Chains A and B, each alone.
Chain A
Amino acid sequence: MTQEKPAGPAGEAQVDPRLLVREEGFAGYLGEFRRRIKGGELGPLPVIVGLVVIWLVFQTLNDRFLSPQNLSNLSVDIVATGLISVGIVFVLLLGEIDLSAGAVSGACAAVLAVLSVGQGWDPLLSMVVAVAVGGAMGLFHGFFFAKIGVPSFVVTLAGMLAWTGFQLWVLGPNGTINLPDGLISNLTDTYFAYVIAAYGLAAAATAGFLLVSLVGNARRRAAGVPSRTVGDIVFRTAVLAVVAFGVAYVLNLYRGLPLALLIFLAVVIVTDFVLRRTKYGRSIFAVGGNIEAARRAGINVAFIRMSVFAISGAFAALGGIFAASRISSASQATGQSNVLMMAIAAAVIGGTSLFGGRGSTYSALLGMLVIQSIASGMALQGVSNAIQFIVTGAVLLAAVVIDSVSRRSQKASGRA
């Protein structure tokens, strides 16, 4: 959001003389930009800068890094953990934490495998049931947190242990169930090879964005509230178009548009819409900002908390399904090890605050890109797992430091 220019007589009546109104034109943008950086309103800037640096470094080390094949694989590799991270964003917005997401994803992948392979259920039905089971597990955590008052940290820690046990029990003595070719493994192995698919999507996204911006702006102007300049809208649309068509071009050089990426992008866009433009989303931000204010405004705090944990569980299950799909099997290792930490790190690296009330599901996408880029780049270099852990840990710490410092400077400039 840029600072909007007040328009019309209604605007003038409210303008405080101390308020810095953005100047017109490009100089105005620069001034606004500088003010935001100083005020600690960094938004997605650090992560985008970080991503560019990471890509440049790995590309100079190994020129296969920015190859279409590697980038295309990267775009599919981010999906499983990215979906878990979307659920984590919801929980972080409340100012809480969900430590069970990894275990829930593994357990639900196991449920999926047992139902579809062991019991011979329809794959689609198995997936729906697996996601429902994940949601129920999340609801269970939410109940103990919201109704009983157990700290979310402890409830979900208990959940992490219990659901891991559940996963081992469901999988039985073999410990691994291979998924045959079919709907489930196709989730991450389907590419729309027609060139038109990726370009069409990019064009649709750009046109859709432009249309929504123009219509919204026309409504704002009609209502006499501040609206964007046409130049502003054109600039934003142009940036989106460059990114969208750039991604489409690269994907088309390899196997085309991956289905998994398409699903992930759809999830991010829809959840972001829910958070920003619905009463439910507004209530989540309110509970994360000031619980007493939310309660007095008549928001059902217990419902919001329980539903958010259910959402987190459901997205963890969805992530587990994609993780199983990617390697065509569900095993004792699915959702274990560092999956949880990666999902939380992605949300935080992408700019969602650990302190609650600030963030967006786009941070799951951006954060996963950073983490997976590091993993992929280091894998290309043949760096050992040990070093990969250390580097990812360092990036997570850097992200949290940026979060804390920007929060402090937001406070200093009165914006937190």
Chain B
Amino acid sequence: MAPVLALEGVSKRFGAVQALSDVSLEVNSGEVLALVGDNGAGKSTMIKVIAGVGPPDEGEIRWQGRPVTIHSPSEAQSLGIATVYQDLALCDNLDVVGNLFLGNEIRRLGVLDEVAMEKRSRDLLNTLSIKIPSVRIPVASLSGGQRQTVAISRSLLGEPKVVLLDEPTAALGVEQTAQVLDLVERLRAQGLGVILISHNMVDVKAVADRIAVLRLGRNNGVFDARSTTQEEIIAAITGATDNAVSRRRARSEEGE
């Protein structure tokens, strides 16, 4: 079966900076793909390409096997790509229901159907086993982890096939990080393709199936999360394998 989303030979240039050159990436349904890389490796540019915020200069995007172009966020959404940005952009003064349905309110005779929205919210949060005191309290009173889960749930209302999570565990405590990672696993269990952008190797190792490493705007390997050690991934991220010492060792190994 074709991967739900595949990018091939994607390049993107900003003025004098080659942000991405010839990058390929694919994510399957029911899979968590971690996208890692140091600052400036091109992760953010990659998110923008997939989310439709910054279309690539070159390269092909295939959705369920057929070539597509994504020129705007709404095109990405209508394909079935949901993006959860790092700054969650929730309205603190609205309650959980209000935030979940913001912009997509259910209406009955032109009037907001609060009952239907509340029921749908509770159902959605229950399916994802998200624990929130009440769906009728302002988002301001939720913890960081709960806010993150609300933002992720919000992206799921459009019934996407791929969810793009940008640093979902940054700035979260231990327990809250666990909550969010649990949620990521439940998304996978529901057959969604999840692209997880993270700096945190522990989190990545905990939930990802495959780990794609970007370095200086290029692919630097895709690793199987279970059979790869953290050190190997960090080496790929930092390029630690690619230095004078490692090259010397490689030469001497060849020589023996």
Q: Which A residues form the contact surface with B (CB < 8 A)?
A: 1, 3-4, 6, 10-11, 13-16, 18-19, 216, 219-220, 223-226, 277-279, 282, 285-286, 288-290, 292-294, 296-299, 356-358, 410-411, 413-416
Contact A4 B92 (CB under 8 A): no
B209 at the interface (CB under 8 A from A): no
Contact B91 A14 (CB under 8 A): no
Contact A223 B116 (CB under 8 A): yes
Residues of A within 8 A of B91 (CB): 285-286, 289-290, 293-294, 357
Can you show 14 pairs from A to B with CB atoms below 8 A apart? A6-B134, A14-B125, A16-B133, A223-B118, A282-B105, A285-B93, A286-B94, A297-B102, A297-B104, A298-B103, A358-B93, A415-B138, A415-B141, A416-B92
CA A286 – CA B123 in complex, angstroms? 24
- Mask of B62-97 contacts with A, CB within 8 angstroms, 1/0: 000000000000100000000001010111111000
CA A282 – CA B138 in complex, angstroms? 14
B136 at the interface (CB under 8 A from A): yes
Contact A292 B126 (CB under 8 A): no
CA A3 – CA B107 in complex, angstroms? 24
Distance between B126 CB and nearest chain A CB, rounded to angstroms: 5
Contact B126 A294 (CB under 8 A): no
**Chain B 95-151 residues near chain A, CB threshold 8 A:** 98-99, 102-105, 107, 110-112, 114-116, 118-119, 122-123, 125-126, 129-138, 140-142
CA A170 – CA B106 in complex, angstroms? 47
The chain A residue sitting closest to B122, CB to CB, is A10
Residues of A within 8 A of B134 (CB): 3-4, 6, 14, 19, 226
Distance between B140 CB and nearest chain A CB, rounded to angstroms: 5
CA A325 – CA B133 in complex, angstroms? 52
Contact A10 B140 (CB under 8 A): no
The chain B residue sitting closest to A6, CB to CB, is B134
Residues of A within 8 A of B89 (CB): 290, 292-293, 296
**Contacts A16-B131, A220-B115 known; A10 to B90 CB distance under 8 Å?**
no
Q: Which of A1, A225, A290, A358 contacts B119 (CB 8 A)?
A: A225
Q: Which B residues form the contact surface with A (CB < 8 A)?
A: 74, 85, 87, 89-94, 98-99, 102-105, 107, 110-112, 114-116, 118-119, 122-123, 125-126, 129-138, 140-142
**Most chain A beta-carbon contacts within 10 A, residue among B102, B105, B112, B137:** B102
Contact A225 B133 (CB under 8 A): no
Q: Which of B105, B119, B135 contacts A224 (CB 8 A)?
A: B119
Q: Which of A14, A277, A285, A288 contacts B131 (CB 8 A)?
A: A14
**Contacts A14-B122, A225-B118, A286-B102 known; A293 to B93 CB distance under 8 Å?**
no
Known: A216-B115, A278-B111. 17 other contacts (CB 8 A): A10-B122, A14-B122, A14-B130, A14-B132, A14-B134, A15-B133, A225-B118, A225-B122, A279-B105, A282-B98, A286-B102, A292-B89, A293-B91, A296-B89, A357-B91, A357-B92, A415-B137
Distance between A361 CB and nearest chain B CB, rounded to angstroms: 16
CA A358 – CA B91 in complex, angstroms? 11
Residues of B within 8 A of A18 (CB): 133
CA A10 – CA B132 in complex, angstroms? 12
CA A292 – CA B103 in complex, angstroms? 13
Contact B131 A294 (CB under 8 A): no
Distance between B133 CB and nearest chain A CB, rounded to angstroms: 4
Distance between B124 CB and nearest chain A CB, rounded to angstroms: 11
CA A298 – CA B136 in complex, angstroms? 23
Contact B115 A223 (CB under 8 A): yes
**Contacts A3-B134, A19-B134, A289-B93 known; A14 to B116 CB distance under 8 Å?**
no
Residues of B within 8 A of A14 (CB): 122, 125-126, 130-135
Distance between A11 CB and nearest chain B CB, rounded to angstroms: 8
Contact B93 A279 (CB under 8 A): no
Residues of A within 8 A of B133 (CB): 14-16, 18-19
The chain B residue sitting closest to A16, CB to CB, is B133
**Contacts A282-B105, A286-B91, A289-B93 known; A16 to B140 CB distance under 8 Å?**
no
Contact B126 A415 (CB under 8 A): no
Distance between B28 CB and nearest chain A CB, rounded to angstroms: 27
Residues of A within 8 A of B111 (CB): 277-278
Residues of B within 8 A of A6 (CB): 134
Contact B115 A225 (CB under 8 A): yes
Distance between B167 CB and nearest chain A CB, rounded to angstroms: 17
CA A3 – CA B90 in complex, angstroms? 22
Residues of A within 8 A of B112 (CB): 277-279, 282
Distance between B202 CB and nearest chain A CB, rounded to angstroms: 26
Residues of A within 8 A of B130 (CB): 14
CA A8 – CA B62 in complex, angstroms? 45
Q: 7 tightest CB-CB pairs across the interface, nearest first?
A: A297-B103, A289-B91, A357-B93, A289-B93, A293-B89, A19-B133, A297-B102
Contact A282 B122 (CB under 8 A): no
Residues of A within 8 A of B126 (CB): 10, 13-14
CA A277 – CA B140 in complex, angstroms? 21
